[in-house]
Amino acid sequence: MMIFLTAIVMVLWNPVVQAGERDMPVEKYEKAIFAGGCFWCMEHPFDKLEGVISTTVGYTGGTKKDPTYEEVSAGGTGHAESVEVTFDPSRIRYDELLDVFWRNIDPTTPNRQFVDVGSQYRAAIFYLNEEQKRLAEESKARLEASGRYDKPIVTEIVPAMTFYRAEEYHQDYYKKNPIRYKFYRYNSGRDRYLEKVWSEKP
């Protein structure tokens, strides 16, 4: 009888089999980190995607701990303005995020994206595991082979480092300051360049 009661207690209190837990959804989100110049302009394209849970703009790739926007934008920290994408891999694949990344940058300019100049505005893919590295390198090779660009693709594919969240006023900037965002984006020449590159067949 004692053994029987002990078994019942173990079943009732085992956290693996407690009532309701077997019915709880198991969510496994992943992260991706991209740099493509001004992070205001890189957040919006990913926010629109089905399966993207959230985006966070910030700084990564450098040596300065807890950098500020003023420090990064002045250069010298080694960091690049970046966007961290949290996504559900059951709804959107990492290689689909890569496609969106390539379609929103100029991969042929080192240490520059459109009007923003300096290593803090370089384009880069910061991979978080070997699978992301493999997929990033394959996507870059396909783009190089496509003949879409007449200059070499110089976008970095490098291991992820500590990602520092940017100041709150930079998060969702395109929503908080839509007029200023649209003015900046138009004058940067980004959209005109992207339309030209991707409207033409290679």
Domains and CATH numbers, the chain: 24-199 (3.30.1060.10)
> Which amino acid makes up residue 174?
Y
Catalytic position from the list 32, 33, 35, 38: 38
- The CA–CA distances, whole Å, from 42 to 20, 172, 186 equal 40, 10, 14
32-64: per-residue pLDDT in tens?
999 999 999 999 999 999 999 999 999 999 999
Q: In the structure encoding, which two tokens stand for residue 171, read together? A: 């998060």
Is residue 38 flagged as an active site residue? yes
Tally of CA atoms within 13 A in the half-sphere of 79 that contains its CB: 28
Inform me whether the pLDDT recorded for 169 exceeds 70. Answer: yes
| Contact indicator for 82, 72 with CB cutoff of 8 Å | no
Inform me whether the pLDDT recorded for 20 exceeds 90. Answer: no
Q: Pairing mode, if any, of strands 30-36 and 52-60?
A: unpaired
Phi, psi of 84 (to 5 degrees): -100, 125
Task: Identify the pLDDT of residue 202.
Answer: 65
Inform me whether the pLDDT recorded for 15 exceeds 50. Answer: no
Helix (H), strand (E) at residue 116: strand 116-117
